[in-house]
Chain A
Amino acid sequence: MSKKRIVVVGNGMVGHNFINTLVTSDHASEFEILTFSEEPRLAYDRVQLSKYFSGYSAADLALVTESEYQSQGIVYTLNDKVVAIDSHAKIITTASGRKEGYDKLVLATGSFPFVPPIPGKDQDHCLVYRTIDDLEAISASAEVSKTGVVVGGGLLGLEAANALKQAGLETHVVEFAPRLMAVQLDEGGGKLLRRKIEELGVQVHTEKNTKEIVAGEECRYRMNFADGSFLETDMILFSAGIRPQDELARQFGLDIGERGGIVVNDYCQTSNDDIYAIGECALWDNKIYGLVAPGYQMAKVAFNHIVSNLLTHEESAVSFQGADMSTKLKLLGVDVASIGDAHGLTAGAQSYVFNDDIAEVYKRLIVSADGKKLLGAVLVGDVEAYGTLLQLKLNDMDIPGNPAALILPATDGAEPVGLGVSALPETAQICSCFDVSKGDIQKAVQGGCCSMPDLKAATKASSGCGGCAALVKQVMDAEMASLGMEVNTDLCEHFAHTRRELADIIRVKGYTRFEQVLEGHGHGHGCEICKPTIGSILASFHNEYVLKDEHIGLQDTNDIFLGNMQKDGTYSIVPRIAGGEITPDKLIVLGEIARDYDLYTKITGGQRIDLFGAQLHQLPEIWQKLVAAGFETGHAYGKSVRTVKSCVGSTWCRYGVLDSVSMAIAIEDRYKGLRAPHKIKFAVSGCTRECAEAQSKDIGVIATETGWNLYVCGNGGMRPRHADLFATDLDDETLIKYIDRVLMFYVRTGDRLQRTSVWMENMEGGLDYLKQVVINDSLGICTELEDNMTRIVGSYQCEWKTTLENPDKLKRFQHFINADEADSNLYYVRERGQRRPATEAERIELVELPPADKQALAGK
């Protein structure tokens, strides 16, 4: 049997989802798939589009790569629009003139932004917000603009406003309706959202009808409103709603809804049986679904119908029955959620409202006439209850107890009212993006998935918008508990505690030595896991000299000898070069030492200089010289603060707005020597161009016109993570205060060898929780954290300086305890004018050389 040919028009989120469903199904080999995209790239995550402005690249947003499609045998064409359908001959034609036949045609053409017919709307800096190309245009326009206006105060408009604000523009939102997000929010919710957004510096203008866009006086344009007022701006972003992209269907005779949209039945078939429409272009029951989850459902329905129609000839088991449009999202940092009938339009609907002007929280519940069922909800400022409320609504469950309890804040000590996940039926949909039910998750756990990453990989749950993550975890935990599984979180066989528990024990009991901890809470002799861990905790709290007799056995080899061991047992030397700033004199000293000891010399990725190949007995001599020249240890060996990268900043750079070098040096000097669960890296950039790459660091600081922006928990390395924006426009003092608190909280609660990025990802409540703890002092520990940090800062010592002053300690720095000789097992060759360890093969050759030649080769 020859393969069936499917042509997918549009490779957006839904088109790709359809293709992916097909190629991962059992029927993959029976189909040949062709797809056409009008855009210059394959599908990407439109939902996360605004992340482009916080540093995501097109590659980060991509949902699939060309090589993946190639390896799956999918024929794709980019930059080529499908312009004609011949539904009799079953052939499509593209703009470039290509013709392809199909057995089934799937239209996934999405939608396009609606631009109101305002005179002057077609000028250069009047843009829309839908594709990556749009974003590139917005970025380019923002570069040459100071003020920006978003037309439209709906969900997308507010996201667009956030993007403009991040780009550093003075930002306005102009809305026709009397409130923001009129579709999803009621009056009270809209009012609070407006207040919060205005506090963030975005100006909101409601009930404004734009009449025309003309040349401005202060700015590029002036927008004249119907009420006679006006607003000047350099750029305008239209976000006044979307329209289904139904042009093809319209031209080639498929049924179209009154207000647009390709009419489909419950199987997503259009008025022609062999043509399907899915995603935002499809009109089902007179409704367009402007969210991705319903689109994915349609993709699944269409796929099943095609398989049953072409292959199995059984009746398709799934049909489209509408979708829930509830949403939870963060707009300009404000949590907003809307569920079901948010406006209380159902007959007899009643409502409960909770409004806290001080804490800026608004919640409204809409319940049925008898008060038993939840019909809808609006949440602004605190969306904790979203998961519970959504499940009540979706599963049509009876509200447990008094409905008011669902939105009232928990009084001190009381558990917040929630709905135990055990109350949910097995069919309850937990992840709507990928249609994963409670039962699916339970099955995956039974099959051995015991962590969120495993579960994500197995079920896809929470790998879309992420809104369901907390609930998914609850279901997973509950299932694990019910299976009697226990996750072993013991540090090692010697301690039945986590690092965090040990940190608490050590802090509360005031322990200062490993033996005390072992005697009180462990057994055996310890090992290479618990010893350095406890050594690090002790150092974080007491900051004693790491080579003190009682601590020396706890240190990893690098810490014992205050250098990084290389593959041949020699060491590297990395003096601290705070902020990457170094005087010519100091550079000369480094050069002289490197030359005299023939050390391989390299500029590191951390803006300092590494000298490699020093033998144990040479370390003290070399450090003597370095200390005399004013260098300190760089702690390149420790699980501790490493470097603070800086850019040149306002002192020299024509764009710099604050002195990033001075701040970097101040930060490095403050936290140098701090030991932590893992290494900590910082960077400070002098403006948003971000030359210091601060958003890839554990702590990133970026200067703005109005102060420092603080980013936390970024990571380069094996699994890169962009840092989260933690607080904005800080003065020097507040910046340091927040960093003190974040770092000390990490030191206390981080797991062994857990970078801040993973720490954040595992933190319940995530970024918001960390903000609560650090900014609002929700745990009441901030004073303690700061005191702790002050103590550490006050007790700093250069470990090399202390060691050099201790002849006793220096005894250890020789290869043999009973002889002055050096290790005989070192072999070098020269490359590009420097010495490097010989490879295994080179060693064999070298051994055969007479000793004199060998010495010459090694440069001795």
Chain B
Amino acid sequence: MMNAIEKQWTRVCAVDDIAPDTGVCALYHGEQVALFRLSGQNDVFAISNHDPFGNANVLSRGIVGSRGDRLFVASPLYKQHFDLLTGECFEDPLVRLKTWSVRVEEGQVLLA
């Protein structure tokens, strides 16, 4: 919990750097963060870029989509699905990727 402490928001890129319905990878405090943007939506989602199944930093290069009302990215290596909001793996709910809070302000993507 953030309690009294204000979140430290850091700009990582412009929204327009992310083509709709695709992802990019940002370096944030030494960690690889996969950022995704869905078409028709201004929200940006941030989860770890590391695919724990393939052990490679590739998730930002997966296809995004929906199952029911959950949004996901499918790993480009072996196609496991990860929830964009929670980082949970559909195929193996014990696997949960790190997620970050995202804010879009004046066309810029901020992470905390």
Assess A526 versus B65: contact at CB under 8 Å? Given A565-B77, A817-B12, A817-B17.
Answer: yes
Whether B12 lies near A818 (C-beta < 8 A) is yes
Q: Check: B47 CB closer than 8 A to any chain A CB.
A: no
Whether A560 lies near B61 (C-beta < 8 A) is yes
Q: Which residue of A lies closest to B66 (CB)?
A: A525
Whether B66 lies near A524 (C-beta < 8 A) is yes
Whether B54 lies near A567 (C-beta < 8 A) is yes
- The complex places the Cα of A817 from the Cα of B12 at a distance, in Å, of 8
Q: Check: A568 CB closer than 8 A to any chain B CB.
A: yes
Q: Which residue of B lies closest to A570 (CB)?
A: B56
Number of interface residues of B (CB under 8 A): 36
Q: Check: A124 CB closer than 8 A to any chain B CB.
A: no
Whether A815 lies near B65 (C-beta < 8 A) is no
- Shortest A377–chain B CB gap in Å is 53
Provide the residues of chain A in CB contact with B19, threshold 8 Å.
549, 552-553, 812
- The complex places the Cα of A819 from the Cα of B28 at a distance, in Å, of 10
Q: Check: B86 CB closer than 8 A to any chain A CB.
A: no
Whether A817 lies near B76 (C-beta < 8 A) is no
Provide the residues of chain A in CB contact with B65, threshold 8 Å.
494, 524-528, 530-531
Of the candidates B13, B50, B63, which one forms a contact with A817 in the assembled complex, judged by CB atoms under 8 Å apart? B13
Contacts A553-B22, A567-B54 known; 18 new A-B pairs at CB < 8 A:
A493-B68, A525-B64, A527-B67, A527-B72, A530-B65, A553-B21, A553-B63, A556-B63, A557-B62, A557-B63, A561-B61, A565-B58, A567-B77, A812-B24, A816-B26, A818-B26, A819-B26, A823-B32
Provide the residues of chain B in CB contact with A568, threshold 8 Å.
56
- The complex places the Cα of A552 from the Cα of B61 at a distance, in Å, of 11
* In the complex, chain A residues 551-574 whose Cβ is within 8 Å of any chain B Cβ: 552-558, 560-561, 565, 567-569
Q: Which residue of A lies closest to B65 (CB)?
A: A527
Query: CB-CB contacts of A477-508 with B at 8 A, as 1s and 0s?
Result: 00000000000000001100000000000000
- Shortest B51–chain A CB gap in Å is 8
- The complex places the Cα of A281 from the Cα of B24 at a distance, in Å, of 74
Q: Check: A198 CB closer than 8 A to any chain B CB.
A: no
- Shortest A29–chain B CB gap in Å is 43
Provide the residues of chain B in CB contact with A560, threshold 8 Å.
22, 61
* In the complex, chain B residues 14-56 whose Cβ is within 8 Å of any chain A Cβ: 17-22, 24-27, 32, 35, 38-39, 50, 54-56
Q: Which residue of A lies closest to B78 (CB)?
A: A567
Whether B57 lies near A527 (C-beta < 8 A) is no
Q: Check: A287 CB closer than 8 A to any chain B CB.
A: no
- Shortest B30–chain A CB gap in Å is 9
Provide the residues of chain A in CB contact with B67, threshold 8 Å.
493, 527
Of the candidates B13, B56, B66, which one forms a contact with A818 in the assembled complex, judged by CB atoms under 8 Å apart? B13
Provide the residues of chain B in CB contact with A531, threshold 8 Å.
63, 65
Whether A816 lies near B27 (C-beta < 8 A) is yes
- The complex places the Cα of A528 from the Cα of B59 at a distance, in Å, of 13
Whether A817 lies near B38 (C-beta < 8 A) is no
Provide the residues of chain A in CB contact with B25, threshold 8 Å.
815-817
Of the candidates B13, B57, B79, which one forms a contact with A825 in the assembled complex, judged by CB atoms under 8 Å apart? B57
Of the candidates A515, A556, A811, which one forms a contact with B76 in the assembled complex, judged by CB atoms under 8 Å apart? A556
Provide the residues of chain A in CB contact with B38, threshold 8 Å.
525
- The complex places the Cα of A37 from the Cα of B57 at a distance, in Å, of 60
- The complex places the Cα of A555 from the Cα of B61 at a distance, in Å, of 10
- Shortest B108–chain A CB gap in Å is 11
Provide the residues of chain B in CB contact with A525, threshold 8 Å.
38, 64-66, 71
